[in-house]
Structure 1
Amino acid sequence: MAGRIRNEDIALVRERSPIAEVVGEYLQLRNAGGGNLKGLCPFHDEKTPSFNVTPARGLWFCFGCSNGGDVIKFVQEIDHLSFTEAVERLAAKAGIQLRYEEGGYTPRRDAGQRARLIEAHRAAAEFYAEQLTSPEALAGRKFLSERGFEAADAERFGVGYAPREWEALVRHLRGRGFADRDLVAAGLAREGRRGPIDRFRGRLVWPIRDLSGDVIGFGARKLYDEDDGPKYLNTPETPLFHKGSVLYGADLAKKEIARRRQAVVVEGYTDVMACHLAGVPTAIATCGTSFGAEHIKILRRLLMDQDEFRGEVIFTFDGDSAGQRAALRAFDEEQRFVTQTFVAVQPDGLDPCDLRVRYGDAAVRDLVASRLPLFEFAIRSRIEGYDLDTAEGRLAALDAAAPVVASIKDRALRQMYAISLDRWLGIMDEQFVLRRVRELSARQRPGARTNGRGGAAAGGARGPAERQRPSYDPHDPDVQRERELLKLAVQRPAVLGPEFDQIPAEDFLAPPHAAVRQVIAAAGGVTVPVGAAEWAALLREHAPNDQVRDLITRLAVEPVLFAGDSDDRYAADLLARIKERQVTRLIADIKSKLARLNPAEQVEEYNRLFGDLVALEQQRRELRERGLGSQ
């Protein structure tokens, strides 16, 4: 078995894996000033972005959940990998061949399980795509052609064909060196009476990719009447594929979703294809499951969903009763978004794929453009079927729709829809309708907390209910100056110079700050001639534990509260204030000693200490004058 990856190769992986690019595959990042980028944290729910990336130092940190690290740590956390697996994955993407301490290059069989399963899926996708051109795949090509897709379209989306044989894929992957256990673990095969057999047979298959573009599963549509399986068969739950947190087409749509601040949620693989080809490149779909909370988290990160009413999520559903039920289920999840949500329903029940075949690309674009706010759609769906020409019918419709209005968490929006409901019903008594909605709202949410929208607070991750009180006051100006000085030491060590290295760790009031100061000393001090990213990595390597390492990461990402004419001036001010504090302690010690001496009997020692006191008082005055700029 291969040994530890060589340190120089790990450093090369970090160097050739730009953190902004790697993180940007999973969430949208925007300029936060000072060379930093920000986005919505992928590791906890939040309404406003607290996830920061500093490309110059190759680090990320979330000020909401206090998680942070380098590019390798991000891949570990986001894809649940070990350190070695994360390095191997980044190395593969960067084209780096890793060497191990025991010598030689890593053989394929020694790669981590995830890497093996990813590679097996890539080989399977290539196999299926090649099979689509075979004579046997005529039914698959006919299926695509009837839905308006050409060979180039199938190639663009990686559509393939699974032969009707029992072991066609298994034999192919065995020949490529993959073990049976990996094919079963990947969901590409299942155990048969005499060994593994292909999971997908005689079906058209779509590769399902994660946000980074790796194939992690397949969706397969049956083509033959004798196939007694479901119409669509998806990869089962595997170490790679979790259908509740995968969006088909998100890898292709993510850049346009971020640029347009729009996501269009459709119901199937062919619908995604039709939308993209028709000029709606923000379309995505779930993979064999209802749209849920994990899907929302992914979309919010891609949308940078922080500014209310600026972006939009559009759900497309069939116009039949099943489509309406799906839309109402989406309504239950709507208020997890900050941005606006809409529903686009084709009255004749055509889905985007059929709509494109019958009426062309423009009809698909028109469907998306004709969207209705999801709240309005949900309320109107409740009042359909009631006789609004009678008082009894209007009252019954009000009782049916009022609970929907009452469940809107934004108080102002709830009131506006109550007024609209009055108009749609023709009751013409806004106060009556508002009272009815308020009664139901009070009943439904008796103890609801509110957030910035007037709605329920987000159910994001929170820290421990009770945190141990620190032994220092973090709001103490002296402690805050220490923190600023350490930020400079981590981010811009050159502006501090050897004067910083003369300050001992015990001069820092906050124990965590003293620990970071010790790490800086252990790494060689701020005058070590290395670049910004290398310096941050060096400090993290010297950290004695995760707590100190996390603080170093935070200090490397947190903006410096600049307060001066220049970096040099600010650094000088902070150094002066810290040294002034050191001198003040020395003055106090000398005064204490002088108080214990008898000047008549211990003249020589008294005079020496008094001279030192005068010199220190002069030094303190000079330092205080230098440090005025940091106040």
Structure 2
Amino acid sequence: GIDLARREMAKQQQAVVVEGYTDVMACHLAGVTTAVATCGTAFGSDHVKMLRRILMDDDTKHAEVVFTFDGDAAGRKAALKAFSEDQKFVASTFVAIESHGLDPCDLRLKHGDGAVKDLISAKIPLFEFVIKSTIADFDLDTAEGRVAAMRAAAPILAGIKDTALRPEYIRMVAGWLGMDDATIRNEMNSAGKKAAPQQTRAQSTASSQAANVEREALKCVLQTPHLVGTWFDSLEESVFTVPAATVVYAACVQAGNPLEFDSAQAWIAKVLEQAVDDETRSHIRAMAVEPLPNDEPDARYVQAVLARILEMDAGRRVAEIKAALNRAEDGTDDVDQARLLNELLSLESYRRDMRNFAVGDS
């Protein structure tokens, strides 16, 4: 089909790459006159050279190459192959995927010329397709799944040679996974260097802040049980991200309601009884004697600390819901999207209330 398409390719600055002759003919009959076939062979460097000559691919042009692949594992493998060649293009590269696995020929026979044109019009960037199809293998509703997806996407991000484009995809992946840019960038750099992951300064600062707030909250719970009030009931295990804080909180829950104890000493003794091991007891003892900022903190300070930790937890949950909405495609169930949006609005309001209480605006 190269002879049929050469003039239109140069004129429209577009090449649509399909697999076989029947697909080429179907595209041309449907009005997609820039279609060419790889003749059953995998797209490779020879195809790149030919298309670059025809499209006169350079920095002054805005040509595009659209690959058509099946939406299955074989199609993804083909896209990954094209991805490795894509770096040789200045032209923008895209992928057009038929969701039911139909090739252009079968698509035209079943749904007509318009369906073929719509297929090409609905193209998405090649990088986006490769990354999205990679992370789709993981359960993104769990922390473990999101971390695994990040690690799978990192080598792909590292393989993007365009230094101006790479940060954009880092931001996109961060949005899809509900993580911050620094975390994605750190993992990408590690994948690119094939070295052990190293925390960025931003990550370290965020982790240190969470650890400090969680420790301060538990110090308040242990040392001033009479000031905690009903705020203790608002806490739950997900609020704590540091392992030491998580086990201490679990011991507090097992000990019962702190307001029912006559003194802090009696409360701490009961919490120590519920500790699962000596290491946990060591953490409890340390938090029980470590000084609070004020010698005799009042209820306002204690409850502000607990409000702060609840605000941070709400922020993490907001990020997870936003990531789920970012991943949602047009075909996502409207009821499910509405549920997520309502949950997001509720959490945003709750986070705002906790922040205002923590800083003394309520």
Q: Does 1:430 align with 2:188?
A: no
Matching residue of 2:148: 396
Match of 1:342 among 94, 108, 119: 94
Cα deviation code 1:445-471 (max 9, x no counterpart) = xxxxxxxxxxxxxxxxxxxxxxxxxxx
For 2:79 and 2:190, how far apart are their aligned partners in 1? Answer: 26
How far apart are 1:307 and its partner, in Å? 2.5
**Contact preservation (8 Å) 1:308, 1:340:** no
Aligned residues: 195
How far apart are 1:308 and its partner, in Å? 6.5
Q: Give the direction of change, closer, same or farther, for the CA distance of 1:406–1:313 in structure 2 (3 Å limit).
A: same
For the pair shown, which has the larger CA radius of gyration, 1 or 2?
1
Q: Give the direction of change, closer, same or farther, for the CA distance of 1:279–1:376 in structure 2 (3 Å limit).
A: same
Q: Percent identity?
A: 58
* Structure 1 segments unaligned to the other structure (5+ residues): 1-248, 445-631
The one-letter code sitting in structure 2 at the alignment partner of 1:435 is N
For 2:42 and 2:137, how far apart are their aligned partners in 1? Answer: 26
How far apart are 1:443 and its partner, in Å? 4.0
How far apart are 1:315 and its partner, in Å? 0.2
Q: Does 1:262 align with 2:14?
A: yes
Matching residue of 1:441: 192
Cα deviation code 1:418-464 (max 9, x no counterpart) = 1111111122x1111112112223449xxxxxxxxxxxxxxxxxxxx
**Contact preservation (8 Å) 1:386, 1:396:** yes
Matching residue of 1:229: none
Match of 2:31 among 279, 294, 302: 279
Matching residue of 1:375: 127
How far apart are 1:289 and its partner, in Å? 1.5
How far apart are 1:401 and its partner, in Å? 0.7
Matches within 5 A, 1:38-187: none
Matches within 5 A, 1:614-625: none
Matches within 5 A, 1:104-503: 249-307=1-59, 310-427=62-179, 429-443=180-194
For 2:61 and 2:117, how far apart are their aligned partners in 1? Answer: 21
In the superposition, the TM-score normalised over structure 2's length comes to 0.53
The one-letter code sitting in structure 1 at the alignment partner of 2:26 is A
The one-letter code sitting in structure 2 at the alignment partner of 1:306 is D
**Contact preservation (8 Å) 1:254, 1:302:** yes
How far apart are 1:383 and its partner, in Å? 0.2
Cα deviation code 1:126-168 (max 9, x no counterpart) = xxxxxxxxxxxxxxxxxxxxxxxxxxxxxxxxxxxxxxxxxxx
How far apart are 1:287 and its partner, in Å? 2.1
Q: Give the direction of change, closer, same or farther, for the CA distance of 1:337–1:393 in structure 2 (3 Å limit).
A: same
For 2:136 and 2:21, how far apart are their aligned partners in 1? Answer: 31
Q: Give the direction of change, closer, same or farther, for the CA distance of 1:308–1:382 in structure 2 (3 Å limit).
A: farther
The one-letter code sitting in structure 1 at the alignment partner of 2:189 is R
For 1:378 and 1:262, how far apart are their aligned partners in 2? Answer: 21
For 2:24 and 2:46, how far apart are their aligned partners in 1? Answer: 19
Instruction: Give the structure with the larger strand fraction.
Output: 1
Cα deviation code 1:574-617 (max 9, x no counterpart) = xxxxxxxxxxxxxxxxxxxxxxxxxxxxxxxxxxxxxxxxxxxx
For 2:161 and 2:132, how far apart are their aligned partners in 1? Answer: 18
Q: Give the direction of change, closer, same or farther, for the CA distance of 1:403–1:318 in structure 2 (3 Å limit).
A: same
> Over aligned residues, Cα RMSD in angstroms?
1.3
For 1:251 and 1:307, how far apart are their aligned partners in 2? Answer: 25
How far apart are 1:330 and its partner, in Å? 0.8
In the superposition, the TM-score normalised over structure 1's length comes to 0.30
What SS does the aligned partner of 1:288 have?
coil
Q: Give the direction of change, closer, same or farther, for the CA distance of 1:308–1:412 in structure 2 (3 Å limit).
A: farther
For 2:10 and 2:146, how far apart are their aligned partners in 1? Answer: 43
Would you identify which runs of 4 or more consecutive aligned residues in structure 1 move more than 3 Å?
Answer: none
Matching residue of 1:132: none
Q: Give the direction of change, closer, same or farther, for the CA distance of 1:293–1:421 in structure 2 (3 Å limit).
A: same
The one-letter code sitting in structure 1 at the alignment partner of 2:3 is D
For 2:148 and 2:54, how far apart are their aligned partners in 1? Answer: 41
How far apart are 1:367 and its partner, in Å? 0.2
Matching residue of 1:113: none
The one-letter code sitting in structure 2 at the alignment partner of 1:313 is V
How far apart are 1:275 and its partner, in Å? 0.2
Instruction: Give the structure with the larger helix fraction.
Output: 2
Q: Give the direction of change, closer, same or farther, for the CA distance of 1:320–1:371 in structure 2 (3 Å limit).
A: same
For 2:137 and 2:43, how far apart are their aligned partners in 1? Answer: 27
For 2:186 and 2:61, how far apart are their aligned partners in 1? Answer: 27
For 1:442 and 1:352, how far apart are their aligned partners in 2? Answer: 40
Cα deviation code 1:317-336 (max 9, x no counterpart) = 11122111111111111111
Cα deviation code 1:317-366 (max 9, x no counterpart) = 11122111111111111111011000000000011001101111010000
What SS does the aligned partner of 1:316 have?
strand
For 1:432 and 1:326, how far apart are their aligned partners in 2? Answer: 29
Cα deviation code 1:46-89 (max 9, x no counterpart) = xxxxxxxxxxxxxxxxxxxxxxxxxxxxxxxxxxxxxxxxxxxx
The one-letter code sitting in structure 2 at the alignment partner of 1:343 is V
What SS does the aligned partner of 1:313 have?
strand
The one-letter code sitting in structure 1 at the alignment partner of 2:110 is R
Matching residue of 2:272: none
For 1:365 and 1:292, how far apart are their aligned partners in 2? Answer: 25
The one-letter code sitting in structure 1 at the alignment partner of 2:188 is V
For 1:355 and 1:315, how far apart are their aligned partners in 2? Answer: 16
**Contact preservation (8 Å) 2:19, 2:40:** no
**Contact preservation (8 Å) 2:61, 2:91:** yes
